[in-house]
Amino acid sequence: MSIRGTVRVTGVSKNAVIKLLVEMGNACADLHDRTVRGIKAKRLQCDEIWQFVGCKQKNASPDQKAAGWGDVWTWVALDADSKLCVSYLAGGRDTGWATEFAWDIRQRVIGRPQITTDAHRPYLAAIEIAFGANVDYAQMHKIYGASGEVEGRYSPATCIGCDMKTVIGEPDYRYVSTSYVERQNLTMRMSMRRFTRLTNAHSKKLENHAAAISLYFAFYNFCRMHQSIRVTPAMEAKIADHVWSIEELVALLPEPEAKKRGPYKKRIKASSQE
């Protein structure tokens, strides 16, 4: 739901809704950082999903780009067995961001996982820097045919084949796939109003965009029953023992600080003779 839609439904001010979103997003990011660790993930799938803040990159001025406007990519690492989102990161799409993303994955999983990504080149150096030789890593390169003009502007081209490539170790080709994480990207677009295409519901600040993503993944991991496993991903990954309620998620918010009001000063109106 959009911010203005929330304002109309609840009757509170727009600034109050945005402030609560940011505070809740920070609390959810802290929850993810504390609890999603020591994950025994055998098969990880990684992908990126695009969205913009303020305006698209090509339309942003230098000052707007400095303020965080432009294209923002959300990196997602999904456990193919438990469907748990192990790591997420909102930022650019170059090697630096890929390396930071891979390091975060490495700190959250134990053992030797098998990782599958698409053919995005920054993954090559990032996975090697973070995992070294202690990983079985493969890339899946999807081959698309020419897209016809009749299909429309946003219609993807037809996938006519896949090319699997071993990068590190000995990955099992039976599990070289990015289908689960790509399906999760669709869930993101359907669940977050900020990711809806062709609308003005996009984020206007990078901080608000990141907070909405953190809130979504906390709900996805701990509160949302997954249809295929019939429990939440956190329960399947053994980091939670029950389905979290919205009340439990909201309880993560810190207690508001009581602000003392200063002494009241009576306003004296000037007389008309003065």
**pLDDT tens digits, one per residue of 198-220:** 888 889 999 999 999 999 999 99
Q: Is the dihedral angle over the CA atoms 49, 52, 57, 59 positive or is it negative?
A: positive
Q: Is residue 255 part of a domain?
A: no
**Which range marks the domain in which residue 67 is found?**
8-147+154-250
pLDDT in tens, 85-120: 999 999 999 999 999 999 999 999 999 999 999 999
Residue 194 lies in a domain: yes
Residue-level pLDDT at 4:
85
Note the pLDDT tens digit of each residue in 126-143: 999 999 999 999 999 888
C-beta of residue 17 within 8 angstroms of C-beta of residue 10: yes
Give the containing element (helix H, strand E) for 32. helix 14-35
Task: Note the pLDDT of residue 265.
Answer: 63
47 lies in some domain? yes
Q: Tell whether 1 is covered by a domain.
A: no
pLDDT at 272 over 70: no
Q: What is the pTM of this model?
A: 0.87
Residue 267 belongs to some domain of the structure: no
Tens of pLDDT along 168-205? 999 999 999 999 999 999 999 999 989 988 888 889 99
CATH of the domain at 58: 3.30.420.10
Counting the structural domains of the chain, the total is: 1
Identify whether 204 is part of a domain. Answer: yes
Q: Strand pairing of 136-144 and 114-117?
A: parallel
Q: Which residue has the tokens 């990684």?
A: 46
Q: Which helix (H) or strand (E) holds 211?
A: helix 206-222
Q: Please report whether residue 131 resides in a domain.
A: yes
CA distances from 256 to 59, 142, 236, 251, 253 (A): 39, 50, 34, 12, 8
Encoded amino acid at 201, one letter:
A
Arithmetic mean of pLDDT, 220-225? 97
| pLDDT at residue number 157 | 74
Q: Is residue 232 part of a domain?
A: yes
101/175 Cα distance (integer angstroms): 22
Residue pointed to by tokens 């003065």: 274
Identify which has the larger pLDDT, 42 or 159: 42
